[in-house]
Amino acid sequence: MSLREEVEDFYAEYGEIIDGGELERWPELFAEPCLYRIVSKENHDRGLPLSLMRCDGMGMLRDRALASQKLNVYAPRAWRHSITQIRAREEHGRIAVRANFAVFETLQDEHTRVLCAGRYVDTLVRTEAGLRLREKICIYDAALIPGSIVMPL
């Protein structure tokens, strides 16, 4: 399997886990030490640390998944990830990945809408379990972000 196929399969699994509501599996896609951030394009471009969501380490990822799945109260919804234009480059045991994403959201009795769009700037590593995220930076394009981001992007 080529690097491109491996990475595309990984991102397909990433989207399926979140969209399928299997958030308890989401932290399994990371390798310690790890970082997950959701940050605006403006803050990212300026090198500012303020993030909409930041998880440093597996413990914080598990807490975020548990909160999203069991503790937060929100209307039932369906999410669909579209992850495109995936580019990967492997160097020195790390895989640098750039990809575009759009997350579509459908609430009961409402039309589907684009919840969020942007790009991923990620670092993956090879583990015995397969490819895993060392760092996942979700950079959203809009100046305003909907308050309904209740699950990881």
- Render 94-138 in DSSP notation, one character per residue: EEEEEEEEEEEEEETTS--EEEEEEEEEEEEEEETTEEEEEEEEE
Q: What are the pLDDT digits (tens) for 37-93?
A: 999 999 999 999 889 899 999 999 999 888 776 655 567 788 999 999 999 999 999
Q: What are the pLDDT digits (tens) for 115-141?
A: 999 999 999 999 999 999 999 999 999
What are the φ and ψ backbone dihedral angles of 54, each rounded to 5 degrees? -145, 125
75/145 Cα distance (integer angstroms): 18
- The pTM score is 0.92
The answer as to CATH 3.40.50.12280 being correct for domain 3-140 is no
Of 38, 83, 93, residue with least CA distance to 60? 38
- Write down the pLDDT at residue 148: 64
Helix (H, G, I), strand (E, B) or coil at 10: helix
Domain boundaries, the chain: 3-140
Element (H, E) at 139: strand 130-140
Neighbours of 149 (CB within 10 A): 19
Of 125, 66, 60, residue with least CA distance to 91? 125
